[in-house]
Structure 1
Amino acid sequence: MATQRIRHLRPLLRPISHLHPTSPPPCKPFSTSAPSLAVRSTGPSPTVNHNAQRFRSRQKEHPEAYKIALIVPIEYVLSAHKAKQIPFRPQTFYKVIEASLPHTGSRPSRAFGEFICREFAMSAKDFGAIAVFLVKTLPHVNGRDMDEGKRNVRLELMYTILHSAALLGDPAAVVLHFQLLDGITRKLGRKTEQVEAHEAFQRVQEVARLGNSAALAVVASTLELKGDRKGALEAYLKCGEAGDGDGYAHGGQLVKTLKGDREEAMRLWRKGAVSLDSAKCYYNLSLEIDPKDPEHEKFMLKAAASGVRGAAHNLGFYYSKLAEKKNIPLAKEWYCVSQGEGMVESVYNLLALLKKEGKTEELSTWVGADMFVKAKLSDVQELKARERFAGPNPGQAAIQ
């Protein structure tokens, strides 16, 4: 069961922001000196003795997979230390990894997290920083490594540290752990993962009640998926109040669809855009503003510059169709940016512009090879006549 779970971690360990609207912000300090984390006994970790023999056996079977430097290459660790993503020297990081490896064959626990924090005089926040670093780094490392043994060890190590940090209550680890478990549950649908995901969601709710914006975003999106749009709206608005403008972006959409209150939705989006510089709020505003209004172009540019899906496509359409002074070269540039973000609709619109110029043979110089193939395989008739990308779902966009 553990092996199957690790295998299903791989496709989920792509950019986490794809799973939920926001990614976790830096978590608040969390001290192991708090009464709830106090550990009076000293000595080896409570689970090491039980797993030492099994760990040594696995180490003998796959010696290369358990070499510390091979698990996390030094260049990644040095870069993270320089960027202050991990708050201690690389030597300490590798010692923590070495001490954690014997635990990868056992169930993650709060006791293990307490042991690491005590042994290395670190807080739960520091331990959580290791977990977040591993989640962000190991997919890139595994993507370059064809050794199955090393890949599995990395994933087991990452999950053990992440789950244990979540049990300690570190906000960033709590959020990431639920996101991974939720993805596994959706893929496997087994009762074991469903129970664990439910427990993980309860921890997210606890962190959300403390005002953590990332946890609030996860609670809101989860409630929305379950059909509780009223609860989702409340959580999204709290997320915005906690400083995440995307909360206002999603909350405004619900206000508009649930209550039919466009003016209130616009107010929320302006608040998220102006006060919190939310690219999604800028995007939502641009869809509601008349293209003749100078703010339309201004807001769409802000959204496109931040990589909001659909914004670059809409700018291409704006400069080729809606602007008072058409700018076809600029339209082609934005369609090129958009197809690079995976928008096949932009390939069709770019082709339409090139056809008017009699330069269809130049399409391959504007479009990546993968998107060129994708565009050929797509059924154009299924893309209805909507001339702007108007929402988060690619099926809502249309071609010229």
Structure 2
Amino acid sequence: MQKVFKQAVTIALTLGVLAGCAGEEESIQKAPLPVVESNFTPVKGWSHKVGSGVGQYFSNLSPAMGYGKLYVADRDGIVQALDPETGKVIWTQDLESDVTAKLSGGLTLSYGKVFIGTENAEVIALDEETGEEVWRSKVEGEVLAAPLVDEGLVIVNTSRGVLQALDADNGEDKWRLSGDVPTLTLRGDSAPVSISGGVFWGQANGRLAGALINTGQMLWQQPIGSPKGSTEIDRLVDVDAQPVISGERLYAVGYNGNLVAIDLRTGQPVWKRSYSSANNFIVAGSQVYLITDKDHIVAVDARSGTEIWQNKELEYRLLTSPVVINGNIVVGDSEGYLHWLDPYTGEFTAQQLVDDSGIAVPPLSVDDGYLIMTRDGQINKMQMP
């Protein structure tokens, strides 16, 4: 039973690499909590608890906003629609049957449905208005990343290296593309993205791939990292972060690999920079913000790849992916703290303790504040002062 989440695995692997190289006992320690004088303190609007949360399991179950509702879920199978203004429950659906539901990828909203992937190799569609199950389909492997919904298809990237498309109306299997999966990989998979009839996703073999959405025909594959070293750990090259489309470029980053900007028209790299990461990242304005495998927060110029700043003060604190809230870069950590940074300098602007169970997924920005979900299933609606 897998109880560790991806960044914990990354630290364990890094420890193994260091020990193997040094030949003597070494340790990597989590950075102490930085002392931050907060420039502001968000105000709590409402709180709600959904099931048991995700505990210390690896999970990409992020809250989703749409259809005038907030949708949330826990790993055991509780899915709820909430009133985003009050936190009041509109409907509840329990997806647990004979076995634990093990919800793990999503939530994705489209075509009047809520789509969720599971560790039991299933994709489930619920009616967004009532919560009733519309269909449930088996797929080739665990679904650890959020499904993509486009052009009438639900597309998932599974743990077995299969990109699989299902009919969004009934879950019927439409096409599959299989990729190579190395013997040892990080726990996690890249969520696919799409534009102009193309779908793009990262692979465990260190490549970024593109295919036609309607048919699954492969367009191209671009190496993000190449296996190096004598051990399986040294040769990890997973591209687990979701690619980001911005303008005419597609950005991707890999573990033990590179941050790459690719021309969408040609599939060729515009620039590459050496960064190792398995976390989702963002492109905001003219800058790329990412979390490295050491939990350094980095800002890079999206046009040239030039590093603008790097904050190392949260090293190995198991950070969430970054988001932009109220003009700040925001990350959560495993001890339940939210850290706010100036996007131009990387200096801290605020810090709050949310819940000591820890934070697994980034906050969700909404019009009048943000929503934060902790590992024990606590959801807080926060408003900026």
TM-score band by shorter chain is under 0.3
Question: If the length of structure 2 is used for normalisation, what is the TM-score?
Answer: 0.25
Structure in which a larger fraction of residues adopt strand: 2
Question: If the length of structure 1 is used for normalisation, what is the TM-score?
Answer: 0.25
Higher relative contact order (CA 8 A, sep 6+): 2
Higher gyration radius (CA): 1
